[in-house]
Amino acid sequence: MHNDTLFLYIGPTSYNLELSDFIPPRTQVLPPVRRGDIQQLIEQELPSIIVIVDGTYHDFPAVSHVEIKNALSLGWQV
């Protein structure tokens, strides 16, 4: 079973853009991804699509490759 929601992690890249002009319906816009975000998402939602545009790397640890591998192994598209 799959989820129809696209999960979009985006931040500074979207500055001064009207996201509704670019993203499909049923998109959940989330702040820049950081360590733990992907793991938390895949534990709470059915598999769907994750798009990572922006992430953190100074203030918080960056998303882990293990989280992405876990998502892929559960049927998520990343």
Nearest to 5 by CA among 28, 22, 21: 28
In this predicted structure, the answer to whether residue 1 has a pLDDT above a threshold of 70 is no
Q: What pLDDT score does 17 carry? A: 84
- Band of pLDDT at residue 8, cut at 50, 70 and 90: very high
pLDDT in tens, 35-71: 999 999 999 999 999 999 999 888 899 999 999 999 9
Cα 32 from Cα 20, distance rounded (Å): 18
Q: What pLDDT score does 23 carry? A: 87
**Hey, where are the domains in the chain?**
1-9+32-78
